[in-house]
C-alpha cells in the first residue's frame, strides 16, 4: 500500500482543480474492500465513471458531482474488465444529491444512490460502517483510499483493477472538507476516483471530491461525519 500525508489547514491547493483517480497506487488485494462500488454514469450524450461505497443493502454513497441521467452500480468487482462471478450489477432507482451542493468549490459534495433492488450481501459485497455524527479524527491517523481511476496525469489511462494507497489524516476544513496527501510523496486520488471512500479505523470518514488538475496531492474529501443526520434522514425518506 502507499502512504500519503494529509496536510494542515494552512496548506493551499495549486490553482486549477478537477473533480476527482489513484496516482502512484498499487493493485489492491482482490475483494479486500467489499464495500467498493464502480459507477457507470450517463449524462445526456456523455459517459463517465466514478467510485462509491455501499452503506446498506440498497444504498450507495458517492459524490454529488457524479450525478447523471442514468447510473449503473457494479459491486463485488476487482478487475472491472472481467465478468467476475463475484460482481453484482444494479441500476440506480433514484439519485439524491445534497440539496445544498455547490459545484464551485464543491461544498456539500455528497449524494445517496437508492438501488433498484437490494444487493446480495456476502464475502464480496458488504457495506462499510459510517462514523458517528461530527466525529473528528486525530491528526496522524492512518487512513486508506481506493479506486479504479487514472493512474497518471500524463495520459487518459484508467486502472482495470482496484488500486489503493494509505493516507495519514490532518485537518483541512473542520466543517465539511478534509485535505489529504503529501506533495513530496506524489500519491493521490485522481480523475475517475470521485466518490470513493477515505477509510479510517474501518469507517468511511471521507468521500473523494476534487484535487489539482495535475493529479498531485493533496486532494479534498467531503467529511462524512458532518452529514450523518442528512444521510439517515434521506435513507428513511427514500425507503419504500
The enclosing domain of 110 has a CATH number of: 2.40.10.10
Both 21 and 40 in one domain: the answer is no
Catalytic residue among 158, 188, 189, 194: 194
Residue 154 falls in the annotated catalytic set: no
How many domains does the chain contain in total? 2
In b/e form, how buried is each residue of 152-166, taking b as 16+ CB within 10 angstroms? ebeeeebbebbbbbe
What is the phi/psi pair of residue 235, to 5°? -65, -40
Least confident range from 55-59, 72-76, 79-83, 95-99: namely 79-83
Under a CB-based contact definition with an 8 Å cutoff, are residues 212 and 14 in contact? yes
The beta strand positions in the chain, using DSSP E, are: 3-5, 17-19, 26-27, 36-43, 46-56, 59-62, 70-75, 88-97, 111-115, 142-145, 163-164, 166-168, 170-173, 177-180, 197-200, 203-212, 219-223
Both 218 and 105 in one domain: the answer is no
Domain that holds residue 175: 3-28+129-225
Catalytic residue among 65, 78, 98, 170: 65
Both 214 and 138 in one domain: the answer is yes
Catalytic residue among 106, 109, 159, 188: 109
pTM over 0.85: no
Residue 134 falls in the annotated catalytic set: no
Both 55 and 123 in one domain: the answer is yes
pLDDT at 183 (0 to 100): 53
Residue 57 has pLDDT above 70, yes or no: yes
Residue 65 falls in the annotated catalytic set: yes
90-94, 132-136, 164-168: which is most confident = 90-94
pLDDT band at 177 (very low <50, low <70, confident <90, very high): confident
pLDDT at 78 (0 to 100): 82
pLDDT at 90 (0 to 100): 97
CB contact set of 9 (below 8 Å; sequence gap of 6+): 170, 171, 172, 173, 174, 179
Amino acid at each position: 500500500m502507499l502512504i500519503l500525508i494529509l496536510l494542515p489547514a494552512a496548506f493551499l491547493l495549486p490553482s486549477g482543480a478537477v473533480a476527482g483517480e489513484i496516482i502512484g497506487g498499487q493493485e489492491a488485494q482482490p475483494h479486500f474492500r467489499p464495500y467498493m462500488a464502480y459507477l457507470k454514469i450517463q449524462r445526456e450524450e456523455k459517459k463517465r465513471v466514478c467510485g462509491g461505497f455501499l452503506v446498506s443493502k440498497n444504498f450507495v454513497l458517492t459524490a454529488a458531482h457524479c450525478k447523471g441521467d442514468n447510473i449503473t452500480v457494479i459491486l463485488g468487482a476487482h478487475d472491472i474488465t472481467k465478468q467476475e462471478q463475484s460482481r453484482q450489477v444494479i441500476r440506480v432507482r433514484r439519485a439524491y444529491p445534497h440539496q445544498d451542493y455547490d459545484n464551485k468549490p464543491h461544498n456539500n459534495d455528497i449524494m445517496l444512490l437508492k438501488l433498484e433492488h437490494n444487493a446480495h450481501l456476502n464475502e464480496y459485497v458488504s457495506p462499510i460502517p459510517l462514523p458517528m455524527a461530527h466525529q473528528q479524527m486525530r491528526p496522524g491517523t492512518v487512513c486508506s483510499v481506493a479506486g479504479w481511476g487514472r493512474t497518471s496525469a500524463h495520459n487518459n489511462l484508467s486502472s482495470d483493477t482496484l488500486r489503493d494507497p494509505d493516507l495519514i489524516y490532518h485537518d483541512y476544513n473542520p466543517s465539511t472538507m478534509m485535505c489529504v496527501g503529501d506533495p513530496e510523496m506524489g500519491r493521490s486520488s485522481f480523475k475517475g476516483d470521485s466518490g470513493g471512500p477515505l477509510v479510517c479505523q474501518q469507517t468511511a470518514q471521507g468521500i473523494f471530491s476534487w484535487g489539482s488538475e495535475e493529479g498531485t496531492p493533496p486532494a479534498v474529501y467531503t467529511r462524512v461525519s458532518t452529514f450523518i443526520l442528512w444521510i439517515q434522514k434521506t435513507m428513511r425518506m427514500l425507503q419504500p
